[in-house]
Structure 1
């Protein structure tokens, strides 16, 4: 079926592993949307080799061809019937008839300055898209790439007046190899699609530039051969204008780089920026900078593709070395074989590490296992309300947060901990994204915070962020809901820990002028809405341990987040003192709710593959009529065509097209060369990416 033509109505994406919602989805106990499984051809699946023909072969080929046509015809008919009847007993889903958006694929041959840019959505009328032929002279970009550096703050007078200067770090001990710069184009492909949800403007992320694969990952080894220290990958790629990134940027031989040593040397050079006792007696006392751990959740047996190696190098370079050690990147590696005693024998630990992690990352990796967590957080965990997965409380599926809490207790030197998954990708600059998200979260007031967290921000529908916030507060009153204000009210018969300091409101909700919380660092930052699971059909909403009565709670699908030391310390104490635990996507938001900690959902830009009417999008994602319609329950299918969700099929498809690979018999080298060149996207957070390589032709 992958060989059949794909039209705009039956456009399909990759088949995600284990898509049966009833078995593994953390979202719903409703009939599986198996007919919506996104599919894509495997590597090399569309390449044909012409055999040497003989009379016998001609006869065999003729018979085979006739049979194949019959099978394809029958299969095509059945496939079309399935598309008409996606779910047994249910009507066709509304978004299935929405017109497909194609502006994502406009290449660098259509680049224009951002002032001249018009998004594709301006040529839509309801659910249709006006077909436009873009003018193209060649695949060669009309603009030149520029060094993209969001670190200018470090050199400003204001920063240096209050902070110690950033000492430059290097990849090697001899300090001969400087961390590379990355490149962006100072414009956008004309009529490129714009995001429906989230806002570059609100987060103060540059939306007037775009990133293509050579400028983004060339400095990390993309595009030059392994024998020169690169990773190759660009042999058949469209390359117009890519040579310009090498005018000032030297190609680095990445063989032999030890990221553990590089990060440690960088921190030592900049220690006084973070530790008060690291300054000399006669030095002036300046502001200290928070340190952050950036934790990548990997596991034994994980396959590290060259594409991911490039992403990992970008993370470490942009977050750690280029910031003078503000971040330390760590791999937290789950050893899935519980019989391996990694905590008792250094040689076993070393051997297990080296067999499961690429050498350049050995020095930044930490191993853990479920058996180790059983020793650290021993049973019992009583009074379980429900266990729909049927798995043990110490299984990673139900307690992946245990390892994060354990890590934080062994690394108390950090102020914040980013919990990041291996199937996340970002097309923009990592430092810009994480810095701006953190600043935005710090500026958010607490009034209306939990109510805003529950909804997606749709700028074209809601207007400005302040208008959105006001609308949410008004809706809360009209709905008769009591807004969250300070620590949640708990059942008196449940023993509770004492709340951390400064979590009690200084005055009433009514008297607050949106001032409480402004300038306060967020204890939790999520990248999907923080919703009330009791108002949804999310299957794990009652997976709660240790409480005599069902407590109030919140959840955010996908555990990717930033957590403060205060929050992780509180979660740790709740676990070992109170034997309180919940499903991983529910525990951090719920503990923040119980103790009055500051939690925010960051409105990062999210793209959709189709034209969604804005009023329908608002009703679908923010105002569902009943719990089963919630996008975090029976309505989860609505996010299949998005760039960010736990099961988004469009995310992987768009990412592979950006790399120049064919997807659903579209894209690839021939189309890029014969069309408008390679893709150039704005900074976008992608999830999930289950594979990155595809056929190029």
Structure 2
């Protein structure tokens, strides 16, 4: 990844490694302690791109928080990074157990350019659906279908309805709704690799994990599985400022999605190829569509019957066939695809997660 991003395209990207130091007794504000820990923890060839943090450091930044662990607060360290390196307008966060069967720099660049071409009209409604390519000639046909479905102008236009009860929206003032191309040419503040869904009524185990917002259950919010995103400096600063001032938070998978939704910022789910290795044989496109879309029209990939979220009350993952996906938050078929690819098997460009070895 380092070769393909920082070197292959002339330094358009710069790679950093955020290292979560588990020893909370270390004072990383002390230069001597920091340098000693860096030397002990990171191989020499990666030290000049590694940045250390631990929970006490994050606690100094966000003293009104009760939670600083990486699982629930993946973006706190990235927010600190954005303040430390303000020269970066956008930051990609990729997890160490992600792999790509192609050129990473090309994939990230194309994702940003594609998102820039997307209009805001019914964007949140498109964002909340998986793009099942076999159902449509192309994404434009899919987009036109969603526009027709929401031709009554009921789609989100600007900040989330009711957002003003929780924050002061900082996104652009929406034009009249007849401006169907609003957002075209606008760089997105948030890019995700999974749909951004409404979690209310989903039975997701973190559905009610809302802190510092009153009333919490009524907070308009969105989430996307796997915390691999591109976030803008503006978005990270808005999240950080609110968290420092009020201690308000939701879990990692909801953080940039919810703040974008509340502020009326441009957020785009970037579709990419998935592979499923179904044990019971192939599935038709219509059957796949029925498997991944079980929710209400405004958030078709969610709802109380959604199959891919980890649900509370001992339900686990309701739709077990998601465990064969090449991109998921649970160990599915990604390691097998990566193993075959590294051993010479030709495959489509696939973003894989998680791959814990290799």
Instruction: Give the structure-1-normalised TM-score.
Output: 0.47
> Is structure 2 residue 35 aligned with structure 1 residue 354?
no
Find the aligned partners of 1:618 and 1:472 in 2 and give their Cα distance.
15
Partner of 1:530 in structure 2? 196
Q: Relative to structure 1, is the Cα distance of residues 487 and 683 closer, same or farther in structure 2, using a 3 angstrom cutoff? A: same
- Aligned partner of 1:444 among 109, 113, 118: 118
SS of residue paired to 1:533: coil
Find the aligned partners of 1:572 and 1:636 in 2 and give their Cα distance.
35
Partner of 1:403 in structure 2? 77
Q: 5+ residue gaps in structure 1? A: 1-314, 382-391, 661-677, 693-697
Q: Relative to structure 1, is the Cα distance of residues 447 and 627 closer, same or farther in structure 2, using a 3 angstrom cutoff? A: same
Matches within 5 A, 1:406-485: 406-476=80-150, 482-485=154-157
Question: Cα RMSD over matched residues?
Answer: 1.9
Q: 1:327 Cα deviation (Å)?
A: 1.2
Contact 1:497–1:574 at 8 Å: present in 2 too? no
Q: 1:657 Cα deviation (Å)?
A: 2.5
Q: Relative to structure 1, is the Cα distance of residues 636 and 410 closer, same or farther in structure 2, using a 3 angstrom cutoff? A: farther
SS of residue paired to 1:600: strand
Q: 1:498 Cα deviation (Å)?
A: 4.8
Find the aligned partners of 1:517 and 1:562 in 2 and give their Cα distance.
17
Partner of 2:285 in structure 1? 614
Q: Relative to structure 1, is the Cα distance of residues 326 and 492 closer, same or farther in structure 2, using a 3 angstrom cutoff? A: closer
Instruction: Give the structure-2-normalised TM-score.
Output: 0.90
Q: 1:615 Cα deviation (Å)?
A: 1.0
Find the aligned partners of 2:22 and 2:111 in 1 and give their Cα distance.
33
SS of residue paired to 1:619: helix
Find the aligned partners of 2:350 and 2:233 in 1 and give their Cα distance.
28
> Is structure 2 residue 323 aligned with structure 1 residue 640?
yes
> Is structure 2 residue 256 aligned with structure 1 residue 588?
yes
Find the aligned partners of 1:493 and 1:603 in 2 and give their Cα distance.
32
Q: 1:331 Cα deviation (Å)?
A: 0.5
Q: Relative to structure 1, is the Cα distance of residues 376 and 659 closer, same or farther in structure 2, using a 3 angstrom cutoff? A: same
SS of residue paired to 1:563: strand
Matches within 5 A, 1:173-322: 315-322=1-8
| Deviation digits for residues 352-385 of structure 1 (CA, Å, limit 9, x no counterpart) | 1122222111001100001111111102x5xxxx
Q: Relative to structure 1, is the Cα distance of residues 448 and 349 closer, same or farther in structure 2, using a 3 angstrom cutoff? A: same
| Deviation digits for residues 520-572 of structure 1 (CA, Å, limit 9, x no counterpart) | 00110000111111141211122111111131000001000000111111111
| Count of aligned positions | 341
| Deviation digits for residues 189-219 of structure 1 (CA, Å, limit 9, x no counterpart) | xxxxxxxxxxxxxxxxxxxxxxxxxxxxxxx
Find the aligned partners of 1:475 and 1:491 in 2 and give their Cα distance.
24
Q: 1:603 Cα deviation (Å)?
A: 0.7
Find the aligned partners of 1:326 and 1:421 in 2 and give their Cα distance.
20
Find the aligned partners of 2:138 and 2:5 in 1 and give their Cα distance.
30
- Aligned partner of 1:565 among 233, 253, 274: 233
Contact 1:639–1:648 at 8 Å: present in 2 too? no
